[in-house]
Amino acid sequence: MKNSKLKSQKSKVCLVSLGIPRGYPERSEGQGKTQKFRTFKFLLVVFTFYFSLLTSNCFAQSISSSDLINNAKAYDGKIVSYQGEVIGDVMVRGDFAWINLNDAENAIGIWLPKESVKIINYKGSYKQNGDWLEVTGVFHRSCLEHGGDLDIHAASVKKLSEGSKVIEQLNLGKQKATILFLGLALCLGILQILRMRR
Amino acid sequence: MLLRPQIDDIKTIGYYLGKIVLGLGIVMALPLVIAIAFGEINPLLDFLIVIGITFSIGFILTTLCFTRKDLNWMQGMIVVSLSWLAAMALGAIPLFLSGNWKSYLDACFDAMSGFSTTGLVLVQNLDHLSYTHNFWRHLIMFIGGQGIVIIALSLFVKGFSGAFKMYVGEARDERVLPNVISTSRFIWLVSIVYLILGTTALGITGILNGMRPVNAFFHGVCIFMAAFDTGGFSPQSQNILYYHCLPFEVITIIIMILGALNFKLHYSLWVGKRREIFKDIETQALFITVMITFFITAIGLHQIGAYPKAIILFRKGFYQLISGHSGTGFMTIYAPQFIKEWNHLAMVGVICAMALGGAVCSTTGAIKMLRIGIIFKALLEDIKRIILPEQTVIVQKFHHIKEIFLEDKQVRAALLITLAYIVLYGLGAIIGTFFGYPFLDSLFESTSAAANVGLSCGITDIGMPAALKITYIIQMWAGRLEFMSIFTLLGFLVAAIKGK
């Protein structure tokens, strides 16, 4: 069930990217054998592309983390595109690095060449919104190189949007509540001390 | 005939509850240091607000209910069970104020999960949570792991006989040292020494693996608190998977096992009795049950071909299993993978491990190894009784720090608590099934909550029904306190209504 859904997704994506028209050309009178031959040729091309796409390993459309995690077996070893915000640390390991991209559903580990992380300026945290990246690479349900982790080995990385610093605004409501409750606690504390002295 | 509680009972309970709430208020000052260090203004205000509220409640209770009377058993048990509810309600306030929890109920869920060292989470956008709130999440695990009452005992109570009643009420019926105050202080000493060692090891590993030094040590202290107190929270949403690092996993396994050992055993090791670790019935039972449950899990994973190589199967399977057995709940896989990629047999292996737990007088939850050992010894005794001639005098012994003769009352107590846990696991599973979740998934999540583990197969989610959230909160609370103080509270409430 899931496989057929994925296959239809594959064909839809790649047909659009190749610019092939969606409908059949209308048949008009007097076109005769030439038109039939063209239709046959068109169907042949479509069939050939469809067949080749069924056996390809490419998912051009960006896939969500939930989709990847829930259908990990179907995507295993395939080339996928995944978008997300860089969160936490960029962890350089030799000539490569680990980053974690969060697409607001889950975060997934991305293994990529060290040079690729140079484009990262902001890493998501309490005080920063991280850069939003799109990576394309091989998805592993259980990576042999990395102890069975679910990860993506990125072949290309593209920055979709620059992150930003979060300017923390003082919450006036919280400020008033702080004064109120600390004041109350102080008064009660003094009362208790006075009572104990008596 | 039920006797209606007297006003003196309520005053005594209120007074000692107030003392513990004041103790909690002092502990709440620790995140202020983090807020100032990282320049986080609104989180600073969140904690000042909750400190104000906590101290106000503490002062009101200690003033209105002032008494010089000591606690009796019933009052001690009720103080403990109410302290945990108060800690949850107050500890949830800063979490809710942060805006990262959808509702106050969700914040209460995470607070109880933290205090009871469970590790199930309903937090949203964890990767953007402030250092201050993140530190608080892990600190409450540390407080809960040691025991909320232990803090009050070791820091604020000079010594009174009621201390032991509260100590027992918090599911710690064993004293390491002759009195509970020294025992509480020893537990803190052990924890602080391991905290320094563990944080250093994790921090250095983090730096070597490319993390910024500040983050490496912040994560180090948080992960240590969550691992040693067998909690399972993590500063990032991916849990341990965030680090992509084998040494980090190995260090956390060592800390989790240390957390699952009896503090009495730690004391024996500290005073040089290293052979105790091999002789003690709890460590023997732990070793055997880990082997058996891992065997079941590994067979399940092999059957379904979940992992391409044996070494990967071992790394993933053993980590989740030891995390479940020790009651920690750290994960190196995503929650849905339990359902999508592990088969029923593998899940059953982990459920059994979670249900068994670690040692008594440790920071773990669940049935615990001493009880499993005692039940096994009793079974062995009964088999011997059948096989050997009737005239034979059968004496069964077990080694738990010292040689102990097996008595019927020990077996009865062990069986009763085991039965209570099994009922608790089952009830949660039935309630989960009632809400439309498959039975095995419900049993997994229910066992995880009641045994204070924190592994999730995906049921724990902000979208789950409020009634199920409340069910898990009650399970976490009951599981952590091992029933007795909760039964006493229920009895007290019944007596207040029906008593004469």
The predicted-structure confidence for A67-77, as pLDDT tens digits, reads as follows 999 999 999 99
H or E stretch at A59: strand A58-62
Inter-chain CB proximity B308 and A144 less than 8 Å: yes
Rounded Cα–Cα distance for residues B247 and B205 (Å): 7
Inter-chain CB proximity A102 and B49 less than 8 Å: no
Cα A160 from chain centre? 11
Angle at the Cα of B173 from the Cα atoms of B322 and B476, rounded to 5 degrees: 50
Cα B408 from chain centre? 28
- Token duo for residue B473: 């909160």
- Cα distances (Å, whole numbers) of residue A191 to A75, B69, B361: 67, 22, 40
Q: Are strands A96-102 and A132-140 parallel, antiparallel or unpaired?
A: unpaired
Q: What 3-state DSSP class applies to B233?
A: coil
Chain B contact present for A124, CB below 8 A: yes
Q: What 3-state DSSP class applies to B375?
A: helix
Q: Are B97 and B49 in contact (CB under 8 A)?
A: yes
Q: What 3-state DSSP class applies to A97?
A: strand
Inter-chain CB proximity B48 and A171 less than 8 Å: no
Locate tokens 């982790």: which residue? A149
Inter-chain CB proximity B128 and A124 less than 8 Å: yes
Locate tokens 């009830």: which residue? B427
- Token duo for residue B216: 């490496």
Q: Across the interface, which of B130, B316, B334 has its CB nearest the CB of A106?
A: B334
Query: pTM value?
Result: 0.86
How far separated are the first and last CA of chain A, in Å rounded?
79
Q: What 3-state DSSP class applies to B332?
A: coil
Cα B496 from chain centre? 31
- pLDDT digits (tens), chain B, 500 positions: 677 878 888 899 999 899 889 989 999 999 999 999 999 999 999 999 999 999 999 999 999 888 888 878 888 888 888 999 999 999 999 999 999 999 999 999 999 999 999 999 999 999 999 999 999 999 999 888 877 776 666 665 555 556 666 666 665 665 555 666 777 778 788 888 999 999 999 999 999 999 999 999 999 999 999 999 888 899 999 999 999 999 999 999 999 999 998 888 888 888 888 888 888 899 999 999 999 999 999 999 999 888 889 999 999 999 999 999 999 999 999 999 999 999 999 999 999 999 999 888 888 888 999 999 999 999 998 898 888 887 888 888 888 888 888 888 999 999 999 999 999 999 999 999 999 999 999 999 999 999 999 999 999 999 999 999 999 999 999 998 888 888 888 888 888 888 77
Rounded Cα–Cα distance for residues B338 and A36 (Å): 54
pLDDT at B398: 87
Q: What 3-state DSSP class applies to A155?
A: strand
pLDDT at B347: 94
Q: Are B327 and B230 in contact (CB under 8 A)?
A: yes
Inter-chain CB proximity B49 and A142 less than 8 Å: no
Rounded Cα–Cα distance for residues B82 and B363 (Å): 20
Rounded Cα–Cα distance for residues A137 and B45 (Å): 44
For residue A181, the chain B residues in CB contact (below 8 A) are 48-49, 51-53, 56
Locate tokens 């949830």: which residue? B92
Does pLDDT of A140 surpass 60? yes
Rounded Cα–Cα distance for residues B364 and A78 (Å): 41
The alpha helices in B241-280, defined as continuous H runs, are: 246-260, 263-270, 276-279
Rounded Cα–Cα distance for residues A107 and A133 (Å): 13
Rounded Cα–Cα distance for residues B304 and B306 (Å): 5
- Listed in sequence order, the residues at least 6 apart from B314 whose beta carbon sits closer than 8 Å to its beta carbon are B298
Count H helices and E strands in chain A, helices first.
Answer: 5, 8
Paired residues of A164 in beta bridges: A129
pLDDT at B175: 58
Nearest to A68 by CA among A57, A55, A82: A82
pLDDT at B178: 60
Rounded Cα–Cα distance for residues B421 and A2 (Å): 39
Q: Are A143 and A151 in contact (CB under 8 A)?
A: yes
Does pLDDT of A152 surpass 80? yes
H or E stretch at B96: helix B73-97
Torsion of CA B9, B11, B16, B21, to 10 degrees: 130
Distance from CA of B468 to the nearest CA of A (A): 22
Rounded Cα–Cα distance for residues A101 and A124 (Å): 9
* Stretch 6-65 of chain A: residues touching chain B, C-beta under 8 Å: none
Angle at the Cα of A120 from the Cα atoms of A118 and A126, rounded to 5 degrees: 145
pLDDT at A17: 35
> Left if phi > 0, otherwise alpha if psi is -120 to 50, otherwise beta: which for B272?
left
- Token duo for residue A149: 């982790």
Rounded Cα–Cα distance for residues B9 and B74 (Å): 9
Rounded Cα–Cα distance for residues A58 and A64 (Å): 15
Q: Are B290 and B357 in contact (CB under 8 A)?
A: no
Distance from CA of A74 to the nearest CA of B (A): 12
For residue B64, the chain A residues in CB contact (below 8 A) are none
Mutate to test the interface with B, among A2, A105, A152, A181 (most CBs of B within 10 A): A181
Inter-chain CB proximity A72 and B340 less than 8 Å: yes
Q: Across the interface, which of B55, B63, B316 has its CB nearest the CB of A185?
A: B55
- Token duo for residue A130: 């991280």
H or E stretch at A93: strand A79-93
- Listed in sequence order, the residues at least 6 apart from B83 whose beta carbon sits closer than 8 Å to its beta carbon are B17, B20, B21, B148, B149
Chain B contact present for A170, CB below 8 A: yes
Backbone angles phi, psi at A133, to 5 degrees: -115, 155
pLDDT at B276: 85
The alpha helices in B101-212, defined as continuous H runs, are: 104-115, 131-146, 148-151, 162-169, 180-208
Using the Cα atoms of residue B215, residue B326, residue B315 and residue B425 in order, give the sign of their dihedral.
negative
Question: Nearest residue of B to residue A92 by CA position?
Answer: B210
**pLDDT, tens only, A41-89:** 555 544 544 444 444 455 557 899 999 999 999 999 999 999 999 999 9
Residue-wise DSSP of B390-421: TTPPP--EEEESEEEE--HHHHHHHHHHHHHH
Q: Are B304 and B342 in contact (CB under 8 A)?
A: yes
Rounded Cα–Cα distance for residues A156 and B247 (Å): 29
As a residue count, chain B comes to: 500
